[in-house]
């Protein structure tokens, strides 16, 4: 396999752009990186997006996006892996470059959701979960609540740990220019917010957002190499899972990514963890091997995931504050890491970011992705 390098990456502002069409968001964002590369050299366009047909009634997104960007003629693909669509598109792109099929692949993650009512958007998002669980009235947030309640019971986690995750991510999202929720929050704000599905409150859930993120993958050497990637899947229904408090899909994805990269969790300087719900950041810490099972919330309480801690996590705001346009999030995590490695993270800049990991969850952890990037010395 050839080494795969990251070229330029970009993220559009994330937020509510009810009036805008996905086409406008996409063209203004992606054109910026197309200026830095000869578009003639792009061999393929891979688009990650969860449900463009359900969200705004347009399918066939691969060809459509290439058409909008003036890239007709290229090999085009539309990847849907629920909320990990962006991460899946990135890994497919990396595999195509590694396998020698293409030299330059444009990977795009995008989603346009906010023009729908929250109820409608939630029901589209719930289409990724098991049919019989949906019939009982479950949605993504209620399944996440069941997982969280069980985690709190098994590992005696206090609610304060979840609040600390939300406060940290909002704190850093505040200084991220593209973040959706630019708002510092306090414990009191969280306690005053409404309960969505006990024990999860409004501030435990990532927002419904619009946004686009894009990156170019290339066989030509740049400053960042894609060191390893891996993905794994699990039963779609929560009832069939062996464990409620650990996601097997993440364990498999992480094992494969670490083994490909030849790295251990200890060698990672920074992690972007899929915090669609605050408890997922804690479970992610454990499943990715950074700490023992049941220790994740203690790491959070000890500030080890803060910008000054031993393993900073989501100090760009995470999905929680940056926003969660489902298909875009996986690519956005990669671009945030590239910004860190290239010294472009502004106030959230880390002192050291040689190796970083991005973790993305599809559905309720039914298809998860782990990608490891490394700075080229």
Binding site for other proteins (CB under 8 A): 118-119, 122-123, 126, 131-139, 141-142, 145-147, 149-150, 153, 194-200, 235, 237-240, 244
* Smallest gap from residue 363 Cβ to other proteins (A): 15
Q: Which is nearer to other proteins, 348 or 366 (CB)?
A: 366
Which run of H or of E encompasses 231?
strand 224-233
Q: Which is nearer to other proteins, 141 or 276 (CB)?
A: 141
* Smallest gap from residue 134 Cβ to other proteins (A): 8
Q: Which is nearer to other proteins, 72 or 153 (CB)?
A: 153
Cα torsion through 52, 58, 61, 65, rounded to 10: -110
* CB of 133 closer than 8 Å to CB of 70: no
User: Which structure tokens are listed for 245?
Assistant: 């408090």
Q: How many residues does the chain have?
A: 377
d(CA 44, CA 104): 7
| CA 35, chain centre distance (Å) | 26
* Smallest gap from residue 299 Cβ to other proteins (A): 23
* CB of 62 closer than 8 Å to CB of 76: yes
d(CA 246, CA 298): 16
Q: Which is nearer to other proteins, 136 or 377 (CB)?
A: 136
* CB of 320 closer than 8 Å to CB of 169: yes
* Smallest gap from residue 120 Cβ to other proteins (A): 9
CA Rg value for the chain: 19
Nearest residue to 177 via CA among 344, 355, 368, 1: 344
* Smallest gap from residue 343 Cβ to other proteins (A): 42
* Smallest gap from residue 153 Cβ to other proteins (A): 5
* Smallest gap from residue 146 Cβ to other proteins (A): 4
Q: Which is nearer to other proteins, 119 or 266 (CB)?
A: 119
Q: Which is nearer to other proteins, 194 or 377 (CB)?
A: 194
Rounded to 5 degrees, φ, ψ at 22 are: -55, -35
Q: Which is nearer to other proteins, 212 or 244 (CB)?
A: 244
Residues facing residue 232 across a β-bridge: 368
């Amino acid at each position: 396999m050839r080494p795969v390098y990251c070229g330029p990456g970009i993220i559009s502002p994330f937020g509510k752009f009810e009036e805008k069409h996905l086409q406008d968001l996409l063209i203004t964002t992606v054109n910026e990186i197309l200026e830095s590369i000869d578009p003639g050299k792009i061999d393929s366009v891979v688009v990650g997006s969860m449900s463009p047909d359900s969200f705004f009634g347009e399918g066939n997104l691969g060809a459509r996006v290439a058409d909008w960007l003036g890239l007709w003629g290229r090999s085009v693909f539309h990847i849907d892996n629920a909320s990990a669509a962006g991460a899946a598109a990135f890994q497919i792109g990396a595999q195509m470059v590694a396998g020698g099929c293409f030299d330059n692949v444009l990977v795009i993650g995008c989603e346009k959701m906010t023009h729908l009512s929250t109820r409608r958007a939630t029901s589209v998002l719930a289409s990724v979960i098991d049919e019989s669980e949906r019939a009982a009235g479950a949605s993504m947030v209620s399944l996440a609540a069941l997982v969280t309640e069980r985690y709190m019971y098994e590992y005696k986690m206090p609610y304060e740990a979840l609040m600390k995750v939300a406060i940290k991510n909002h704190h850093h999202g505040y200084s991220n220019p593209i973040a959706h929720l630019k708002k510092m929050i306090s414990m009191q704000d969280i306690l005053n917010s409404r309960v969505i599905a006990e024990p999860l409150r409004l501030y435990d859930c990532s927002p419904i957002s619009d946004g686009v993120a894009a990156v170019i993958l290339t066989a030509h050497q740049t400053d960042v190499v894609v060191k390893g990637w891996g993905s794994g899947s699990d039963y779609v229904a929560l009832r069939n899972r062996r464990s409620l408090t650990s996601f097997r899909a993440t364990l498999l994805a992480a094992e494969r990514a670490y083994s490909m990269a030849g790295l251990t969790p200890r060698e990672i300087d920074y992690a972007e963890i899929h915090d669609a719900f605050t408890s997922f950041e804690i479970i992610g810490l454990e499943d990715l091997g950074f700490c023992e099972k049941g220790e994740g919330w203690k790491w959070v309480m000890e500030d080890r995931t803060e910008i000054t801690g031993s393993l900073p996590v989501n100090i760009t705001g995470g999905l929680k504050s940056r926003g969660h346009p489902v298909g875009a999030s996986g690519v956005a995590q990669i671009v945030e890491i590239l910004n860190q490695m290239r010294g472009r993270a502004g106030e959230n800049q880390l002192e050291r970011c040689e190796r970083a990991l991005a973790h993305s969850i599809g559905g309720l952890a039914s298809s998860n992705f782990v990608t490891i990037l490394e700075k080229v010395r």
